[in-house]
Every structure is written in structure tokens, then in C-alpha cells.
Amino acid sequence: MLITHGDWDHVCGIGAFPDAVVTMGEETAAKVEDGSRVQSIQRAAEAYGFATAGAPRVDETFTRGAAVALGEFVVETFPLVGHTPDGTGFRLRELGLLVVGDHLSPVEFPFATSPSAYRSTLAGLIELLREDPPETVIPGHGPPLTAEEALGIAKADLGYLRSLHVAVVDALAGDGTREEAQAAGLTVALPRESSPDLDEMRGFNVEREIEEILPTPVG
């Protein structure tokens, strides 16, 4: 079992596969092993009313960027940062697959803990999809995609994050306030329609963009 990152919805089902070898990057393993994933899973289970099959675990780890032999396949791994710092992508060339975690979703918009890192990741994915396309792209949310479909999503997502950056920078120019930057960021159109329960993440993206440009003073 390959884990792309440590968000609760990507590790909550590990316990349902006791015989699987659970493999993840070192950064994701640190999140699982410190116990914080158990707490986030418990909060989500209470909020959404689902039962879990036990705590997540780590069986094997790797350094992102390495090619890893897993069973009969060689899996190329690479960092996919921006959504979370620990994100990992996987490529299985024998199967024609590219696995991208919570990037390139056809049913969501980017959730960016670091908008600048997310933009860089999307630029890299666009180059890969153009120059070395897989047969199928597997996002963490939504159906499998062709390389052409994934490229369209990547370009739209990058356009959104670039527009968000410009809107916030322009609003903060001169004597602009954080409140004005927040309002400007929220006017930026999303790359696609999403579930209404994700609206708060739009504001989260704006706050993270502002924080990267104008960090909150410490102390």
C-alpha cells in the first residue's frame, strides 16, 4: 500500500488492510508515528460519522526521489509539495500510471498550505505531462484521468494560484491592509465548481497566500 501524504483521509483506512505492506515517504511516516494522525482521524470520524478499522501504521519508508522496488514493480517517487509539505507522487511505468495524491483533482480546487510551493509543483507536473506523459493519472479525489485531461486541470489550477498571488500582491501594494488583500483574494475565480462544504478552503488559500507575502509578526 502506497501512501501519498499524511492527511487523515489518506491514512484512515490503513488498519483495514492488516496484511498489506504500508509504504510511505519519511516525512509522512513521521506524521503517522507521532500519533497526530490518530487524533485527526478521531475528529473526522466524530464529525462525519464513520467507523475506523484501527490506527494507521508504517511498515516501510523511503526517501522521496528514490526509485523503490515494491513487489514486482519499480516505483519512481518524487516530492509533490504545496498541498502538504510531505506529499509524494508515484510513477509505475510498467502500468502506465502516475499517482498524484491531492493534486490534479477534477472535483476539487487546490488546497494549498504553501501556494508558492504548489505553483512550482504544478509547473513541474505540466512539464511531465507534456514531455513524458503516462497513460493514466490517478488523483486522490475524483476519477482517473488521461494525460491530456490532467494537463488541462494542472494548467487551470496554476492559473488560479497565479491569479490569487497577483490579486493579493496588488491589494497589499502601498498601504493596502490584510483585510483588503483577503477581500481581493476571495474575488479570484476558482478553476472549477466544487462541493459547498469546501468553501472554507477558498479562504484558507487566501490566508496562506497573504502569510507568504506578509508574514504575521512574531511576538
Residue 12 within any structural domain of the chain: yes
Q: What CA–CA distance (Å, rounded) separates 148 from 60? A: 33
Please compute the mean of the pLDDT values over residues 74-100 and round it to a whole number.
97
85 and 129 co-located in one domain: no
Collect all residues with Cβ–Cβ distance below 8 Å to 1 and sequence separation of at least 6: 14, 17, 20, 21, 22, 23
According to DSSP, residue 145 is labeled B
| Count of beta carbons in the 10 Å neighbourhood of residue 53 | 12
73 and 172 co-located in one domain: no
Query: Minimum mean pLDDT among 66-70, 89-93, 148-152, 184-188: which range?
Result: 66-70
Q: What CA–CA distance (Å, rounded) separates 5 from 136? A: 20
Residue 102 within any structural domain of the chain: no
22 and 60 co-located in one domain: yes
3 state DSSP class of 95:
helix
70 and 128 co-located in one domain: no
pLDDT at 80 over 90: yes
**Structural contact between residues 4 and 102, judged by C-beta atoms closer than 8 angstroms:** yes
Q: What CA–CA distance (Å, rounded) separates 185 from 181? A: 6
Collect all residues with Cβ–Cβ distance below 8 Å to 172 and sequence separation of at least 6: 178, 180, 181, 210, 213, 214
Residue 3 within any structural domain of the chain: yes
Q: Count of domains in the chain?
A: 2
Three-state secondary structure string covering 146-177: CHHHHHHHHHHHHHHHHHHHHHHHHHHCCCCC
Return the pLDDT at 218.
61
155 and 88 co-located in one domain: no
Average pLDDT, the chain: 94
Q: What CA–CA distance (Å, rounded) separates 89 from 67? A: 11
C-alpha torsion sign, points 34, 36, 194, 85: negative
Residue 103 within any structural domain of the chain: no
Residue 85 within any structural domain of the chain: yes
Above pLDDT 70, what percent of the chain? 99
35 and 125 co-located in one domain: no
Render pLDDT for 152-168 as a digit per residue (tens, 0 to 9).
999 999 999 999 999 99
Rounded to the nearest 10 degrees, the angle between the axes of helix 147-172 and helix 199-213 is 60
Q: Pick from 140, 126, 151: which is nearest to 88 by CA?
A: 140
218 and 129 co-located in one domain: yes
Task: From 95, 123, 157, give the residue that closes a domain.
Answer: 95
Residue 109 within any structural domain of the chain: no
Q: Which residue range forms the structural domain that includes residue 66?
A: 1-95
Return the pLDDT at 219.
58
